Structures are given as C-alpha cells and as structure tokens.
A and B are shown apart, each in its own frame.
Chain A
Amino acid sequence: MALQPFLALGAILFGIGLYGALTKRNLIIVLISVEMMLNAANINLVAFSHFAVTPNVDGQVYALFNIAIAAAEVAVGLAILLSFFRIRNSSDVRDVNLMKW
C-alpha cells in the first residue's frame, strides 16, 4: 500500500463530517460530525507516522493526544447540551441563541 489511499480516505471522511456539521439541525448530530472530522485527522496523523521516510511513533502519540482532547470536548459539549435542553426543552441549533444580542 502507498500513502495516498489513506490520505484520500481521510479527505472523504472529513468531507462527510463537514457536510453534516454545516447542514444538520440536531445539536448531537453536529457533535457527531465534529468527531468524524477529528477521526479523519487521526487517520492522516497515523498514516504519516507509518509512511514517513524515517518512521517514528510521533504521529501516533499526536493521535492519542487528539483522542484525549476529543473525549474532553464530548464530555463538556454533552453537559452544555443537557443543561440547555433542561431550560429550553429543545436540541435544535436554531434555539441556541441565549448569548446572542
């Protein structure tokens, strides 16, 4: 295998996630789409770590950091979503206008 198929797969997965994050109206689906984009970035990191001229595990370590940050992001995002749902009884992105003026 070469490097290009993995980069192409990462690009396509990123595109699917970007489309979902821009068009979906359910807050949780938007969060899921963001997770898919982070996964596409992880594929690229691990692929470059494997196919580098001098292979090393730096890319894999960055992917692990990325996974940890993504887990923290999901925890905080879902907490905000639950707290928002409690006061508005909705999970629609258009209802999230509490801090708009």
Chain B
Amino acid sequence: MLFGFPITGETVAYFVLALIIITSGVFLMTLRNVMHMALALGGVFLGVAGIFIILGADFVGIVQVMIYAGAITILMVFSLMLTHSRRKTDEEPEVGGLRGTVTFIGVAVVVGAILLVVRKTSWPVSPTALQPFHQSTVLLIADALFHTYTIQFELVSAILTAALVGAVIIARKEEQ
C-alpha cells in the first residue's frame, strides 16, 4: 500500500509524475535565472501531459505536449531572450519579505481549504473507473467537437484568428 492506494503501475506512475510536477513548480518559483525557470516550466507541462495520459485522455495529453511543452515553452524562452534587460541585474525578482510571507500564508490557507474539501467530500464512485472509454477517445472527441459543440468550436477558431492577427498588429514596429 502506498499512501492508502494499492501498488499498481498506475499508482506508481501517478506519484512519479506528481513528484516531477511539484518539484518543477517549486524550482520555477525559487530559481534565480529566468532561463532555468523556463526549462522548469517544460517539466511541469510534460508532467501534466503524463497525468492526462494516466487519466485515459491520450489525445489531450498529446495536444498538451505539442502546444504547451512545445510551442508555449519555446515562445516564453524567445521572449525572455528578446526582453533581456542588462541594466538591472541586482534587482530583487520578487516582492519584499513581509508581502511575500503574507502572500505565501494566504495561498497556503486557500490550498489547504481546497485540500480539506476534496478530502471531506464523498465523491460518487464510477463503476467503470478503470476503463471508462470503450473506444478510442479520438473518435469520441471528434464526435463531441463536430456534433455537440460545433458552434463553440467555430467560435474558438474565430478567437484564435483574431488573437493571432491582433498579436501581429500589436507587436509590429510603428513606422513613422
């Protein structure tokens, strides 16, 4: 038994991935070099992709690897390089002592309350928790996207187009 759960491959994979995610997250908050922080971000995103695959959401896991671990991490690294400021290297990267401590205590209280509620609530148990989907989730997701959620899907594509055009306009250099 591992923290009250029987030792199976799934349990071991969950604890390894949770350890990777939380360690990378803590590194992300404590490291000084911003480039190392961006690399720790990749660890968080890959760990979350592993959690998705444990949960049977293989398509979402692969999308997570492609968009988050691939595109967004690289975009963050690029913008860290482009906005590297040489003049203030000695400046504190965080808010000062008292405000930092108060924020930490506040966040700890919020997370503790959420954890307590998660523990106290009796969640309904699914009878098919081990293998809930009897066919490939790609087929199920395609069916949901193109039959049930067609309008939302089209709206998301409109938002993506508008955001990309807007990003190009905003980041363009102003010609005099």
Total contacting residues, chain B, CB less than 8 A: 86
B16 beta carbon closer than 8 Å to chain A:
no
CB <8 Å contact, B141 and A61:
yes
CB <8 Å contact, B118 and A11:
yes
Q: Which of A12, A63, A74 makes the CB contact (< 8 A) with B72?
A: A74
Given contacts A50-B55, A79-B166, whether A16 and B25 have CB atoms under 8 Å apart is yes
Q: Give the interface SS of chain B, mostly helix, strand, loop or mixed.
A: helix
* Binary interface encoding of chain A residues 30-51 relative to chain B, with 1 for a CB under 8 A from any of its CBs, else 0: 0110011001001100110111
CB <8 Å contact, A39 and B48:
yes
CB <8 Å contact, B152 and A65:
yes
- A8 to chain B: which residues have CB within 8 Å? 115, 118
Question: How distant is the Cα of A73 from the Cα of B126 in the complex, in angstroms?
Answer: 35
CB <8 Å contact, B34 and A28:
yes
Given contacts A25-B92, A64-B141, whether A15 and B79 have CB atoms under 8 Å apart is no
Of the A-B pairs whose beta carbons lie under 8 Å apart in the complex, a sample of 29, sorted by A's number, is A1-B54, A1-B129, A3-B123, A4-B119, A4-B123, A12-B25, A19-B104, A19-B107, A24-B29, A25-B92, A27-B83, A39-B44, A39-B48, A42-B64, A50-B55, A51-B132, A52-B132, A61-B144, A67-B60, A67-B67, A68-B156, A68-B160, A72-B160, A76-B170, A78-B75, A78-B76, A83-B170, A85-B83, A90-B88
Cβ-closest 6 pairs across A and B: A55-B132, A72-B163, A15-B111, A79-B167, A79-B171, A16-B25
List chain A positions with a Cβ less than 8 A from chain B: 1-9, 11-20, 22-29, 31-32, 35-36, 39, 42-43, 46-47, 49-58, 60-61, 63-65, 67-76, 78-83, 85-86, 89-92
